[in-house]
Structure 1
């Protein structure tokens, strides 16, 4: 009888100690997370460089620079913020005291994923209007007059889209880290049966 009580007590101690320990994300997930974050930095810097240095002159229509279009300024700002955040979060993800605070990564990852989405949408519209124009508002296409400008801007947009996809993956990873310690919700039938 004592052996049964001792075994039950030991099992209860093991289960209570295992409940107190939060599950750690696998090392492979941490490496993928760090690689994605580090990949954001050069892509964002390349987006900024391509956009800021992009200018072309046309004798008929004048000079076209990124300062001329407000949406491109927004894209450059978002790229700068994402590069800085990605670098800082990569470094801090390897600091032990911050790794246990999954919410420190979850919330900014979500915010940046949404902000990147708006930035990509705005830049895509700009590239579309430069290529196709809008005849209803008498905005003619400009890429025939500024072909070099449009090609560099299209490349910058492509890099920006890659950064968006990386942040979408990062937001899923950080959501997994933030919510994996919690039990899944119970359905109403399970609660009624108990």
Structure 2
């Protein structure tokens, strides 16, 4: 009987070690992904002889993406350091922060997706023509930055699930036995 309990404990410990490794790996992965997305977008500009120069800073959605990528990079570095130092029980902090970062990444990705859609399709109702045929490299760099941002978002979604599991696995499910005893009396 003792051997079965040791096997279960060892399996549980292996499971927690795997989650800890995955958590650390994903946090490290977010750093270069966010920096690359930030860099590609922040260096995005193109000049057209007929229409002039366009830069990422001309569009608020693109500036928002750069800002969120900077925040996500800083947060990822801080969370890696927090995990390495283990100075306090950070499960709740990471859970809430991972959720916030995932939501911010979704909103900034959505803003850029809308800008990219309008750049490709235009909006004839308000007399906006598409611009990607004139600023092809600019639109291509937006796509690359958005793809890198999306991969970082997937990392944050998985991190949110891991941190949620880590926090809520500490609690036991509510007991139905106490409710049943109360009803029978």
The equivalent residue for 1:112 is 101
Structure 1: 5+ residue runs without aligned partners?
A: 1-22
Matched, 1:79 2:69: yes
What is the number of equivalent residue pairs in this alignment? Answer: 169
- Report Cα offsets for 1:71-116 as digits up to 9, x if no partner: 1110000000001100110121122333x33111111111111111
Moved over 4 A (4+): none
Residue 75 of structure 1 contacts residue 119 of structure 1 at CA under 8 Å; is this kept in 2?
A: yes
In the superposition, the TM-score normalised over structure 2's length comes to: 0.87
The 1:148–1:181 alpha-carbon spacing in structure 2 relative to 1, beyond 3 Å, is same
Alignment of 1:20-99 (within 5 A): 26-98=16-88
The equivalent residue for 2:124 is 135
In the TM superposition, residue 28 of structure 1 has moved relative to its aligned partner by: 1.1
SS state of the match for residue 174, structure 2? coil
Structure 2: 5+ residue runs without aligned partners?
A: 1-12
Alignment of 1:145-160 (within 5 A): 145-160=134-149
The equivalent residue for 1:11 is none
Which structure has the larger Rg?
Answer: 1
